[in-house]
Amino acid sequence: MELDVLHSESATEVGSYFVANYPPFSVWSPEHVPSALKALDSHGPEGDTVPLGLYLHIPFCRTRCKFCYFRVYTDKNARDVDVYLDALSQEVSLYALRRGLLGRTFDFVYFGGGTPSFLSSDQLERLIDAIRAHWSWDRAREVTFECEPGTLKKSKLETIKAIGTTRLSLGIEHFDDEILEINGRAHKSPEVFRAYEWAREVGFEQINIDLIAGMMGDTEGKWRATVAAALAMDADSVTIYQMELPHNTLIARQLKESGGAVPIADWSTKRAWVDHAFRRFEDAGYVVSSAYTLVKPSANGRFVYRDAVWHGADMIGAGVASFSHFAGVHFQNVDEWDDYLQRLDRGELPIARALPATDGQLLTRQVVLQLKLGRLDADYFRRRFGVEIVQMFREGFASLEEQGYIAIDGDRIRLSREGLLRVDALLPVFFEPQFRKVRYT
């Protein structure tokens, strides 16, 4: 079987690398929206035995990072933000009326963006009060809140804690001020240190920091200095991404308009940089918990959201362009501001495209997502799906074994470090043939 190692040995090219879902987003379509609505009024084969999560998309930022591919706005005023938050709470309240969701509570909540910490304390409190009129998350095992360090004040962190946040995630990305500037980040390193100090004083159960290997202008020396600075912070967990260049980023647009070389290190350099970071953090007692994360075992280094989604949880994604998964159906909201607001003004769920996944696709989805943890447990799939995955995916596993990326020992399937560092490029071998080469988003 031919292995489709997308970009993996080569220069960074424009296009998506990260596999966040299966089947790929690009094959979801408007004609399936009725299936999503129907699923929301049903209980699905696994009913409410799977956890339920809520993702809230806060699409505002102080500036647009040149590498960012998310739906974000940098030109909205306080009035616009209020209008959006009203629509967002209206959307979440509409879900409370669906039959498939009656009586359920959120096991995990994720404030993502954009920049949730762009909101003022007042705006945040109003949003939470409106949502809590219909939903409770008092029993949530995790409430994550993403922050851009330069938007934080101690009083805002106190509000973020008061709404129930257990896990604060700081988008640091790099500690070199010149690199932050070149890449269009809104903050500089002094704001990071200040925000971190306040966050510790306020006392969150878990503080996570995000880094990116291979930002524009990054060098071996600067990356090593960033890893050393990140280690010194002593965070409970660390997330490290390899810089990718999806089509809808400012860098990709500039390249298309004026040509020139891609200003990002190649994939083998980025892998070597992440490997260096992994080793330094492991030496300090952290444990690798996925292709992108390390946790300090003694601390509350949990990833409830990640683990639930990768094991097939239901998740309602509210907000412009948000993604959801419910009772086996994938769906995504409209991705235009006016469209989103108008749909909610009419009292409709703003769903734009969907895909009811087949049983086989739901199985493949969990196989590929859990492989990103660096390990698979065949017995989990036997119990949950009644299948022998080593048999079912033997060709894919064999091609990865031949190349030394994976080792299978009975029910334990493990990626080597080399496999883990390029896992997203390896996953298409498990896809159905028609999805192996499709554009991802």
Ligand X SMILES: C[S@@+](CC[C@H](N)C(=O)[O-])C[C@H]1O[C@@H](n2cnc3c(N)ncnc32)[C@H](O)[C@@H]1O
Judged by the rule CB under 6 A, the positions of this chain that interact with ligand X are 61, 67-70, 112-115, 146, 148, 171, 173, 210, 212, 241, 243-244
CB 83 within 8 A of CB 345: no
Query: Please, what is the minimum distance in Å from the beta carbon of residue 48 to ligand X?
Result: 29
Based on the number of CB atoms within 10 Å of its own CB, is 49 exposed (0-12), middle (13-18) or buried (19 or more)? exposed
Closest distance between ligand X and the C-beta of residue 303, in Å?
14
Phi-psi region of 331 (alpha: psi -120 to 50; beta: other; left: phi over 0): beta
Compute the least distance from the CB of residue 186 to ligand X, in Å.
7
**What single-letter amino acid sits at 169?**
S
Instruction: State how far the Cα of 329 lies from the Cα of 65, in Å rounded to an integer.
Output: 32
Do the Cβ atoms of 192 and 153 come closer than 8 Å? no
Min dist CB 2 to ligand X, Å, is 27
Buried b / exposed e along 263-302 (16+ C-beta atoms within 10 A): bbbbbebbbbbbeebbebbeeeebebbbbbbbbbeeeebb
Q: Which CB, 291 or 349, lies closer to ligand X?
A: 291
The 8-class DSSP code of residue 77 comes to: -
* Distance in Å, CB of 319 to ligand X, minimum: 12
Q: How far is the CB of 399 from ligand X (least distance, A)?
A: 27
Nearest residue (beta carbon) to ligand X: 171
Give residues with Cβ within 8 angstroms of 161, minimum separation 6: 202, 203, 204
Specify the residue for token string 């998310």: 70
Q: Which helix (H) or strand (E) holds 160?
A: helix 154-162
406-409 β-sheet, strand order: 375-377, 412-415, 406-409
Of 293 and 364, CB closest to ligand X: 293
Closest distance to ligand X from the beta carbon of 157 (Å): 14
Neighbours of 204 (CB within 10 A): 19
Contacts 24+ apart (CB under 8 A), 341-347: 341/83, 341/84, 341/87, 344/87, 344/90, 344/91, 344/94, 345/87, 347/90, 347/94
The neighbouring-strand residues paired with 169 are 146, 208
Task: Give the nearer residue to ligand X in terms of CB position, either 67 or 326.
Answer: 67
Smallest separation, CB 401 to ligand X (Å): 29
Contacts of 351 (CB under 8 A, 6+ apart): 33, 36, 37, 331, 332, 333, 334
274/376 with CB nearer ligand X:
274
Q: Of 114 and 301, which has the nearer Cβ to ligand X?
A: 114
Identify which of residues 195 and 362 has a Cβ nearer to ligand X in the complex: 195
Smaller CB distance to ligand X: residue 25 or 241? 241
Name the minimum Å distance from CB 317 to ligand X. 13
Nearer to ligand X, 223 or 397 (CB): 223
Distances (CA, A) of 15 to 7, 423, 441: 9, 16, 9
Residue (40 or 160) nearer to ligand X, CB = 160
